[in-house]
Amino acid sequence: MAGNQNLHAAARAKKDEFYTQMEDIANELKHYKEHFRGKTVLCNCDDPYESNFFKYFALNFNALGLRKLIATCFDGSPVQGNELLFDFGDGTDEKKIAYKVEITEVSDLNGDGRVDLADVRYLLKNDRNALSTLKQHGDFRSAECIELLKEADIVCTNPPFSLFREYVAQLIAFDKKFLIIGNQNAITYKEIFPLIKENRLWLGFKAGDMAFRVPENYEARETRYWQDETGQKWRSMGNICWFTNLDHKKRHEELVLYKSYTPEEYPKYDNYDAINVDKTADIPYDYDGVMGVPITFLDKYSPEQFEIIGATESEGKGFSNGLWIKSSSIAQPLINGNRLYKRLFIRRKQ
């Protein structure tokens, strides 16, 4: 039990407990419906009692035409709302047990004439076949969770921020389709950016602000923190986005460009062979060379319209792709010696 408690404490210390709202999940998922018919979905950082990802797929199981839904729960996760406590019958506290839920059918179980959250609750409480314990802590990297990953067609969750690089690497290694929440800072991670450049990973629909429920033991903050009328603590972040390799409509919408190039308005960097564009909307329609744009450009990126050449980033100079023209210890782009924010380097497709 002491080992379990340490694990528990470690998971909390990493501040990975950010619970996604149903509304954010539904608003994003509505753009991908065609991908889900006949598919097995895995939510592998999701306590079924807590996670709105699990609830969303259980509630929409029939509407999406899913073949199977699997959710696995990490035993480091605290349980927040205790309304759905599950008694394993052996005196153990279910908060500390890793388990999985596998569902192949969702029907009107409680016989009230509709399929709703009450049926999902009923299913979790009453269908012992659907729920079983995991021996390896429910860690998404454990052998038993990897077996479930192999079985899945699409993985959909908000994974722990602190393990994001490893999480994506595993999805890629097992060649899985995915739709996951992450931080926009990950765009220039050395493990993530090459995937973006090769069009093996892109952004989903929504990018920007998102609010998350956080556990009771998370401390108050000056900004982007509040408690609602029920006492539930919340945190929000301004740079959240969805990462996916499921195709969607927005990705093929071209940006309307209206500005023409002048050397005065679009100066070249001191240290990169590219012009600087401060706002995505100001990308000139008539410049054929390489342009440095803010990383938020990715939200408007269509692979038919632009090619991604490289990126400046905080983890070395690995993505400059021959654009780096002066040896310098500064990996940020400079203009007249002044630093600019991170940039992606792009070129218009002819």
Ligand X SMILES: C[S@@+](CC[C@H](N)C(=O)[O-])C[C@H]1O[C@@H](n2cnc3c(N)ncnc32)[C@H](O)[C@@H]1O
Return residues touching ligand X (CB under 6 A).
11, 16-20, 45-46, 51-53, 74, 76-77, 138-140, 157-160, 163
Provide, rounded to whole angstroms, the least separation between the CB of residue 16 and ligand X. Answer: 4
Of the pair 25, 293, the CB lying nearest ligand X is at 25
Q: Do 314 and 277 form a contact (C-beta atoms < 8 A)?
A: no
Provide, rounded to whole angstroms, the least separation between the CB of residue 117 and ligand X. Answer: 15
3-state helix, strand, coil in the chain (%, to 5): 25, 25, 50
Provide, rounded to whole angstroms, the least separation between the CB of residue 93 and ligand X. Answer: 16
Of the pair 38, 208, the CB lying nearest ligand X is at 208
Of the pair 81, 303, the CB lying nearest ligand X is at 81
Q: What are phi and psi of 258, to 5 degrees?
A: -130, -5
- Residue 66: other Cβ atoms inside 10 A: 23
Of the pair 76, 292, the CB lying nearest ligand X is at 76
Of the pair 20, 40, the CB lying nearest ligand X is at 20
| Residue (of 214, 167, 171) closest to 186 by Cα position | 167
Provide, rounded to whole angstroms, the least separation between the CB of residue 141 and ligand X. Answer: 6
Provide, rounded to whole angstroms, the least separation between the CB of residue 156 and ligand X. Answer: 9
Provide, rounded to whole angstroms, the least separation between the CB of residue 99 and ligand X. Answer: 12
Of the pair 163, 334, the CB lying nearest ligand X is at 163
Of the pair 210, 331, the CB lying nearest ligand X is at 210
Q: Do 236 and 20 form a contact (C-beta atoms < 8 A)?
A: no
Side chain identity at residue 84, one-letter code: L
Quote the strand ranges of 3-105, DSSP E: 19-20, 40-43, 68-72, 99-103
Provide, rounded to whole angstroms, the least separation between the CB of residue 24 and ligand X. Answer: 9
Q: Do 235 and 263 form a contact (C-beta atoms < 8 A)?
A: no
- Cβ neighbours of residue 129 closer than 8 Å, sequence gap 6 or more: none
Provide, rounded to whole angstroms, the least separation between the CB of residue 78 and ligand X. Answer: 8
